[in-house]
Structure 1
Amino acid sequence: MSSQYIKIKNHINGEWLDESNGQYEPLKNPSTGAVIGEVPLSSAETSRQAVAAAAEAFPEWSAMPLPKRMDFIFKMHRAMVDNHEMLAEAIAVDQAKHIAEARGEVGRVIEILQMACSIPALMQGETIQGIANNINGRVIKAPLGVFCGVAPFNFPALVFGWFIPFAIGTGNTFVYKPSTESPLFMQRMMDLIVETGLPKGVVNIVHGDRDTVEAWYDDENVTGICLVGSTPTAKSIAAGAGKHGKKTMLLGGAKNFLLAMEDAPMDLLIENVLMSGYGSAGQRCLAVSNIAVVEEIYDEFIERLLEASKNLTVGDAMDPDVFMGPVISAKAKERIHHYIDLGIEAGAKLALDGRNPDLPEANRDGYFVGPTVFTDVTPCMPIAKDEIFGPVLSIMKVGCINGGLRMIRNHEMGNGACIFTQNSYYTEKFINEADVGMIGVNVGVCAPHPYLPFGGIKGSLVGNNKVQGKDAIDFFTQNKVATIRTVDPKAGQPAAAKKDSSVRSCVAG
């Protein structure tokens, strides 16, 4: 990846544009703290300009035959395959996800695009014959118009995959706002999209803060708004968009549980806790945070976990020899430190302190927090209740599976939960009773395959719509129902038909 200064631009109606208001904020590399570029803070006027471009493109794009629209999805897939490493490096530079994990994120989006290629099959409607004499019914799935999406910093590629291919594949147009902290992936991806020949205005990119998003609420051209972010942000968008009748798909925050039973395969358990809890520096919505361990293996688990955690290396996201990169910003680092202080004040035992990890000289101004482990945690403590979004694990002792399930049930978030066991009774009980949207068995990150819906419940999802799979098709389309009478052109209209009660009943109401 070039060290050249990066100037992020908006992409509206097929053109790369500087922000007209001249307002930019610095783009930093979290691994070093160095300023590497600048990101526009677009005005509400610029945001509405992007929507207008999408609205203008919608009629022609939605009328395009489905196979031709799908050609562009196939081309996007090929472009990502051919540019896998370049896109991964873009994520590792400004989001500072470890390069191995960045490659994995791009790989998952390639799988999502493969799934999006099945849109024609998933858009098939329904037909019912013989509602009445010579009358049939049909349901078709039709596009709605302009959708807008807001991405978080932690998965710039994944959220693109969740939103844009499904929206445009079903015939809509899109305005996308990446995070100002990790905009580089979308800049690179948009270059590739342009090379596919996608008509101008179908996908537009606008950067900015809340003013950019709030401009969508009362814009009559906007049909719906999508978000992956925090629960407070999701609720704010729900209120603003709902007031003006917009559809929303809003994934909020998380506090994920892992329950370790007495028969848990210990080597597999430790390996998965390390990857889930510390991977992406704990900055993912399915990172394990609260770990409930039955008392039979509690001491052994803590001993094994601490030994493994102490041996993990922390450093530059581009260094393949380190395990964990930095958190996204100085503000995020400060917030995590604050929660570590709160954990100590609440009476938890800080068994491993990650506040001052050993770092190479070049990374000492970066935003690093090392693996951190609290033991003797209770569910009422802030570190067990709040989403910390960092590499901080809270270990709690439980007597049995019911104790772990009770903790999950009582938490206001309901994103994901995992169980480690070899017992089929425990497995089925956990699947049935864990009050979350996504469940894992002997896996540390319970992310569903792209064929299946992704999303939580309770405080982790505002509304009902989830991303991926058929859920995405349902969100980005509307059901149109046709009632069709077939008439023999040679027969005319018999007078008796006026008295046919079945005809009257089918048009009642």
Structure 2
Amino acid sequence: MNTEYIKIKNHINGKWLDETNGQYEPLKNPSTGAVIGEVPLSSVQTSQAAVLAAAEAFPAWSATPLPKRMNYIFDMQQAMKDNLEMLAQAIAIDQAKHIAEARGEVGRVIEILQMACSIPAMIQGETVQGIANNINGRIIKAPLGVFCGVAPFNFPALVFGWFIPFAIGSGNTFVYKPSTESPLFMQKMMQLLVDIGLPDGVVNIVHGDRETVEAWYEDDNVAGVCLVGSTPTAKAIAEGCGRGGKKTMLLGGAKNFLVAMEDAPMDLMIENILMSGYGSAGQRCLAVSNIAVVPEIYDEFVERLLAASKDITIGDAMNPDVFMGPVISAKAKERIENYIEIGQNEGATLALDGRNPSVAEGNKNGYFIGPTVFTDVTPCMQIAREEIFGPVLNVMKVGCINGALRMIKNHEMGNGAVIFTQNSYYTEKFINEADVGMVGVNVGICAPHPYLPFGGIKGSLVGNNKVQGKSAVDFFTQNKVATVRVVDPKENNAAPVASSNAAVRSCVAS
């Protein structure tokens, strides 16, 4: 991919626009620390202009026949297939996700678009016949208007797939704010939407910080706001949208558990932990973080985990021969290193220190943290309670499955948890009792298939709405109820008033 200086632009009402009222901040390549471009911090006025463009596009778009809207979703999917490598490299450059994982992320979005193509089946309404004489009831799923979305840095493509296809496929229009740390994917994706002929204003891109989002709270044109991000940010948006009467779909933070039972398939488990804990440099909402191991295999597990972790190769995200790239920024690197120091001060054993890993000369200024493993961790420690969002694993000894389930239940987050076992009793007990929104058995990352809803519970989900599948269609639509009296034009129009009124009273009472 061309690595010339990248100037990120907003896209409003079909036009690529420079930011004239706001500021710009540098865009960096985390693998090298080099400035590769600039991204706008858009003004409130720019944010409002994007919403207005979406609002003006809504009447015509919502009136567009459903098959024609679906044609755009089909074309969007094909455009992503045709440009998979270009989109993946965009993610690898500014987000520094390893190129193989970036390809996997784009591939998953293509699967999500396949699922979104079934919107016509999911958007079907309901009819109740014979509520009263000649009176029927009908529910239709109608679009609401303009939705706005906020994406995190770590999955610029995936969150696009969770929000935009379902919103516009259901007849809404959209304003999308990518992360200022990884905006390049959406620049490329937006151009593909232009190329397939998506009408102006249906999807708009605005870059910025908190002020860009806060402008939506009191805007009468905004029907709802979506977020994938931290729990504090989700709560702030929920409060702001509550004042403005907006719908919200807000996925927050996570602290995921892996439970290793005495019959765990060890080779498979270690392989999955490496991918889950160190893939994307641990910057995933479903990355394993706390590992609860029963005494029977604890020593063997720690020995195997440390040996495998020491073999992890670290380097430039564009290098296919390395396993793990950098974290997103110097600030993130500093935060993770601070947590490592906190863990030491709390009394945990730093069995493997990932600070100052060895990397190639050209990556010396990149933001690298190597695999880090703590043992002798207890649930009350700060490193076990808070989301570190880096390649740091906490190993705990737990007496039995009940002890592990208590740990999970007592944690304020409830995103995901997995168990490794070959015992069907453990499996069913864990599925039924693990107090999280997503459960996995013998998998390191319990991400549901796009057919199924994605989201946690407790502090990992602010509100009730989850992404993907029918849950997404339900969020982006409203149930409009119609009561219909059928009148035979051949009947005498002078029917007794009392009889007519009785039918109305019967309908209302029901």
Q: TM-score range by the shorter chain?
A: over 0.9
Offset, 1:21: 1.8
Query: TM-score, normalized by length of structure 2?
Result: 0.99
Offset, 1:505: 1.6
- Tell me how many residue pairs correspond in the alignment: 509
Partner in structure 2 of residue 359 of structure 1: 359
Partner in structure 2 of residue 174 of structure 1: 174
Whole-Å separation in 1 of the counterparts to 2:441 and 2:483 = 47
Query: Residue type matched to 2:18 in 1?
Result: D
Offset, 1:507: 3.2
Native 8 Å contact 2:137 2:481 kept in 1: yes
Matches within 5 A, 1:365-444: 365-444=365-444
Native 8 Å contact 1:415 1:438 kept in 2: yes
Partner in structure 2 of residue 52 of structure 1: 52
Whole-Å separation in 2 of the counterparts to 1:244 and 1:204 = 21
Deviations 1:341-380 (A, max 9, x none): 0000000000000001110000010000000000000001
Native 8 Å contact 1:133 1:503 kept in 2: no
Native 8 Å contact 2:289 2:394 kept in 1: yes
Q: Is 1:450 paired with 2:447?
A: no
Native 8 Å contact 2:72 2:196 kept in 1: yes
- List runs of 5+ in structure 2 lacking aligned partners: none
Q: Is 1:507 paired with 2:508?
A: yes
SS in 2 for 1:219: coil
Matches within 5 A, 1:236-315: 236-315=236-315
Query: Residue type matched to 2:368 in 1?
Result: F
Partner in structure 2 of residue 475 of structure 1: 475
Identity level (%): 82
Deviations 1:246-292 (A, max 9, x none): 00000000000000000000000000000000000000000000000
Whole-Å separation in 2 of the counterparts to 1:216 and 1:136 = 39
Offset, 1:171: 0.2
Whole-Å separation in 2 of the counterparts to 1:493 and 1:323 = 79
Partner in structure 2 of residue 68 of structure 1: 68
Whole-Å separation in 2 of the counterparts to 1:150 and 1:214 = 11
Partner in structure 1 of residue 85 of structure 2: 85
Deviations 1:354-407 (A, max 9, x none): 001110000010000000000000001011000000000000000100010000
Whole-Å separation in 1 of the counterparts to 2:427 and 2:157 = 33
SS in 1 for 2:293: strand
Native 8 Å contact 1:261 1:293 kept in 2: yes
Whole-Å separation in 1 of the counterparts to 2:113 and 2:351 = 43
Query: Residue type matched to 2:309 in 1?
Result: S
Offset, 1:508: 4.7
SS in 2 for 1:67: helix
Whole-Å separation in 2 of the counterparts to 1:498 and 1:126 = 30
Partner in structure 1 of residue 43 of structure 2: 43
Query: Residue type matched to 1:255 in 2?
Result: K
Whole-Å separation in 2 of the counterparts to 1:113 and 1:340 = 39
Partner in structure 2 of residue 324 of structure 1: 324
**Higher mean C-alpha deviation, range 488-497 or range 333-342:** 488-497
SS in 2 for 1:161: helix
Matches within 5 A, 1:128-139: 128-139=128-139
Structure 1 residues 494 and 132: CA distance shift in structure 2, 3 A: farther
Matches within 5 A, 1:176-191: 176-191=176-191
Query: Residue type matched to 2:29 in 1?
Result: N
Deviations 1:302-360 (A, max 9, x none): 00000000011000000000000000000000000000000000000000000011100
Q: Is 1:333 paired with 2:333?
A: yes
Query: Residue type matched to 1:158 in 2?
Result: L
Partner in structure 2 of residue 106 of structure 1: 106
- List runs of 5+ in structure 1 lacking aligned partners: none
Deviations 1:169-196 (A, max 9, x none): 0000000000000000000000100001
4+ long deviations beyond 6 Å: none
Whole-Å separation in 1 of the counterparts to 2:35 and 2:448 = 36
SS in 2 for 1:290: strand
Whole-Å separation in 1 of the counterparts to 2:499 and 2:142 = 35
Native 8 Å contact 1:405 1:434 kept in 2: yes
Deviations 1:457-497 (A, max 9, x none): 00000000000000000000000111111111011245346
Native 8 Å contact 1:415 1:455 kept in 2: yes
Native 8 Å contact 2:22 2:43 kept in 1: no
Whole-Å separation in 2 of the counterparts to 1:499 and 1:116 = 48
RMSD value, Cα: 0.9
Deviations 1:46-92 (A, max 9, x none): 00000000000000000000000111101100000000000000000
Q: Is 1:150 paired with 2:169?
A: no
Native 8 Å contact 1:343 1:383 kept in 2: yes
